[in-house]
Structure 1
Amino acid sequence: MTATPEAPVKTNDGQLTLELDRAHVFHSWSAQGALKPMVIAGGSGCKVWDFDGKELLDFSSQLVNVNIGHQHQGVLDAIKAQLDILTTVGPAFGNLTRGRAADLILDKANQGSEKTHFQKVFFTNGGADANENAIRMARLVTGRDKVLSTYRSYHGNTGSAIVATGDWRRMPNEYATGHVHFFGPYAYRSEFWSTSEEQECERALHHLERVIQSEGSHTIAALLMETVPGTAGIMVPPRGYLAGVRALADKYGIKLIFDEVMAGFGRTGGWFAFQSLAEDGVVTTPDLITFAKGVNSGYIPVGGVVISPEISAAFDEAVFPGGLTYSGHPLAMASIIGALTAMQDEGIVDNAKRIGEDVLGPGLEKLAARHEVIGDVRGLGVFWAMDLVSDRETRTPLPAAKMAELKAKLLSLGMLPFVQENRVHVVPPCIVTDAEVEQALAIYDEALSSL
């Protein structure tokens, strides 16, 4: 029997889960000794619950990946149908489900552009190995080695992806070579002494070009950047920045990779973030797009690289030296078809855009007006962050102890939050309703008042 708030499984199952977890499960990014993970028994839509039936509003989307919500019937049905046809097949074989999934992804990636910018998809097991393979493609096509990425970034926990990452997690893992970091725009905490979005854009682009020149443009294969940096703080780039990066990449013969693992497939109110950030109807397109998470809301592990015709053609005669046993796994492909079809038919991406513009964004701004602890609110779609400070004038980040207190309060009030450093990331599923947003805003209000 599935656990629900109305019909929980045996009352001791939560304790059994915790005992088995602590006895046998090794957790990521954690010191193992003192862990006591929250137990989740089930979920539906924007809510999860434990074995006792205690319900939480999931405004974390787990790891900002459950875009379509928990247990969407359309995705479940697609996976179940594929189970009866073919559960697995090697990547060297043709497979109808894989072809249909690729076709759907390319249809979304090419929207908003007058011509077809993307032609093929290489499927991976997740976002990290999507970035690994995009980097590999750029290096092979250009014959260059270096990869530039920002300090405020996260690209995954595999060899090159973790070194491309800018935050602390790369430091114990710096075994890959050829990686250089630069500062991207972040107007609220500017590295460039900027006093406006326009200055931040201009100075960030100048900084990037100087890094390119100083490293030797002839040595740089790729610029890898999250279109909207997620874990690092949901920093929507200023107007003109993406176009400026594209121009620099073209000027110096560098391949541009947009990491859309977290920002893609509805999160920003568009199919991809680079489409949401179109300016005057013009979409800034990269050479490669990496994706995972929202493409099927994490129901089955999957990721991939969307490839431009130019890069794809480079491997028409030359062998691409990469592959994965589960590349394009049929069950994962079916989950993509189910998710993207449902998102399209049910207007889920449009809902995320409307929620951000009409409900969530204005609601967070009202919270900021009431609470001095909120230094900045930024985002779009269902991808927002509240930057919390102990002093608005100095913008001093709220201390870790206070953030832990806030997280505990949010949990006690019935919310599963996403708390990162001094920020609360407001990242519900794309299916979230007006009523659920209002419920969440009330919870944030009460929790912030407790500080």
Structure 2
Amino acid sequence: MKGEEIKSTLMEYNLQSWSKQKSINPISVEKAEGIYFWDYDGNRYSDMSSQLVNMNLGFGNPAISQAIKNQVDQYCFVGPSYGAESRAILAKKIIGLMPDNMGKVFFTNAGAESNENAVKIARMFTGKHKIFSRYRSYHGSSFGAGNLTGEPRRYTLEPGVPGFVKFFDPYVYREGIEFDSEELASSYYLKKLEEQIQYEGPDSVAAIVMETITGSNGILIPPKGYMPGVRALCDKYGILMICDEVMTGWCRTGKMFAFEHFEVKPDIVTFAKGVTCGYVPLGGVVVSKEIAAYFDDNLLSCGLTYSGHPLSCAAGVACVNYYEEADILTNVNKVGQVLGEVLEELKQHHKSVGDVRYIGLFSAVELVKDKETKEPLVPYGKDPKGIMGKITGLLKERKFMTYTHENMVLVAPPLIITEEQLREELKKLDEVLTIVDQELLTYA
């Protein structure tokens, strides 16, 4: 099939996620390598969002491909109750990367399944039923993970599952309070969280679930003291701390896992995306030694046909090996520093840029109508004039491929990107922001 035939066939027979189907215009991809992919007309595009913040090692990594081929030659599948070498090796490697309190991993197929099973495990272990999660969060779109999610993508699932409670994020930029320090901001948010725990009844709360660093909803980095404070509240009230590392895990933020930045030890960690970089679907739930021991004599009522799929685990072993052998963290921290410097320059130069937030190669540009009032470029949960779609289109014209969410432009390139490649691409973002300043601010 040629490019146009692929596109027309998809549009006729395939439902595309998060889209009005008449408005989609998919690029038919002929080949891909590194941070780039090409359409059937030979146009080269730069993947500045790592697809869905999952292709951390880019396209065409030979080590991952070869590992999958080797597993195919041995066998493609045996059920979760059988011994598969790739499953055993990957489980051991993952536990070896975790804090010393962590014990075992339950494999899933994706981030949503990871978060749903984490909730089930928390409820089984604690005997409690309420689950706290934040408003500006995305934990997946399946029914359970969608109820865990706080942002507008949960609306179609409502009325939802009983027991899910939302609380406010430490979103300092939009708080309307001028805190003298990050520590004071953390104190404010932690007091409000503790108050809500008390109102809900601590004896009914099984877990607090957080994206360690909020992803698509704005790259919201917790202020100093916040994560240790949440850990202390969990300890005080006998609540499990669950860190969703689906986006932030696997070197994305300059650490193997984002919770390492904050020197906390979660009770449960969920992961997906970068564990295989999208080459084959895989996710997982890592539980503490205490939780793991509980299920020695109590039924683990979790099960998936494809839990620990041998092909996926083979890809996972290759990915984890590559992160370490290629010293990906060093590149993330080196190039990530450049990303932060350039984004700060864009913030200074463009009146539409209210804030920039970044850590490692994980960043967002927050667009506003007015820097003083901080009014978002588009209202929360709405884009009646299609402003953000226009911005995505302008970037696409320049072959800078990423996505927007609310009033944010996400910049999260593959972790193999070089400084030269990054600077070349950010010039395109600069051009588009100039157009936003000159034309779209008035239109908005």
TM-score after normalising by structure 1? 0.93
Equivalent-residue separation in structure 2 for 1:125 and 1:348 (angstroms)? 24
Offset, 1:195: 5.8
Equivalent-residue separation in structure 1 for 2:15 and 2:426 (angstroms)? 35
Q: Is the 8 A contact 2:30 2:38 kept in 1?
A: yes
Match of 2:83 among 55, 70, 94: 94
Letter in 2 for 1:21: L
Render the CA deviation track for 1:254-302: whole Å, top value 9, x for unaligned: 0110000011001101110011x13xxxx20110000000111111111
Who is 1:449 aligned against? 434
Offset, 1:217: 0.3
Offset, 1:388: 0.9
Offset, 1:96: 1.2
Who is 2:231 aligned against? 246
Offset, 1:192: 6.0
Q: Is the 8 A contact 1:187 1:196 kept in 2?
A: no
| Matches for 1:102-181 after TM superposition, within 5 Å | 102-110=91-99, 116-174=100-158, 175-181=160-166
Q: Is the 8 A contact 2:277 2:319 kept in 1?
A: yes
Who is 2:316 aligned against? 336
| Matches for 1:376-391 after TM superposition, within 5 Å | 376-391=355-370
DSSP-derived class of the 1:171 partner: helix
Who is 1:8 aligned against? none
Q: Is the 8 A contact 1:125 1:301 kept in 2?
A: yes
Give yes or no for the alignment of 1:13 onto 2:2: yes
Offset, 1:41: 2.6
Q: Is the 8 A contact 2:56 2:415 kept in 1?
A: yes
Who is 2:345 aligned against? 366
Who is 1:80 aligned against? 69
DSSP-derived class of the 1:84 partner: helix
Letter in 2 for 1:46: I
Equivalent-residue separation in structure 2 for 1:306 and 1:192 (angstroms)? 37
Offset, 1:191: 6.5
DSSP-derived class of the 1:316 partner: helix
- Give the direction of change, closer, same or farther, for the CA distance of 1:44–1:291 in structure 2 (3 Å limit): same
Offset, 1:414: 1.9
Offset, 1:373: 1.2
Equivalent-residue separation in structure 1 for 2:357 and 2:184 (angstroms)? 18
Structure 1, 158-167 or 405-414: larger mean CA deviation: 405-414
Letter in 2 for 1:86: Y
Offset, 1:38: 2.8
- Give the direction of change, closer, same or farther, for the CA distance of 1:191–1:95 in structure 2 (3 Å limit): farther
The count of aligned residue pairs is 429
Equivalent-residue separation in structure 2 for 1:332 and 1:404 (angstroms)? 34
Q: Is the 8 A contact 1:47 1:56 kept in 2?
A: yes
Render the CA deviation track for 1:329-372: whole Å, top value 9, x for unaligned: 00000000111111110111221122112x11111111111112
Who is 1:355 aligned against? 335
- Give the direction of change, closer, same or farther, for the CA distance of 1:226–1:191 in structure 2 (3 Å limit): farther
| Matches for 1:50-449 after TM superposition, within 5 Å | 50-110=39-99, 116-174=100-158, 175-190=160-175, 194=179, 196-275=181-260, 277-278=261-262, 283-357=263-337, 359-399=338-378, 400=383, 401-449=386-434
Offset, 1:80: 0.8
DSSP-derived class of the 1:298 partner: coil
Q: Is the 8 A contact 1:186 1:200 kept in 2?
A: no
Uncovered stretches (5+) of structure 2, i.e. residues with no partner = 437-444
Equivalent-residue separation in structure 2 for 1:138 and 1:199 (angstroms)? 31
Structure 1, 162-171 or 30-39: larger mean CA deviation: 30-39
TM-score after normalising by structure 2? 0.94
Equivalent-residue separation in structure 1 for 2:215 and 2:45 (angstroms)? 23
Equivalent-residue separation in structure 2 for 1:446 and 1:414 (angstroms)? 12
Who is 2:439 aligned against? none
Uncovered stretches (5+) of structure 1, i.e. residues with no partner = 1-11, 111-115
Structure 1, 172-181 or 303-312: larger mean CA deviation: 172-181
Structure 1, 395-404 or 321-330: larger mean CA deviation: 395-404
What percentage of aligned pairs have identical amino acids?
43
Q: Is the 8 A contact 1:109 1:271 kept in 2?
A: no
Letter in 1 for 2:293: A
Who is 2:440 aligned against? none
Letter in 2 for 1:92: S
Q: Is the 8 A contact 2:217 2:406 kept in 1?
A: no
Give yes or no for the alignment of 1:43 onto 2:32: yes
Render the CA deviation track for 1:194-246: whole Å, top value 9, x for unaligned: 46423321111011101100000000001000000101110010010000000
Who is 1:5 aligned against? none
Who is 1:6 aligned against? none
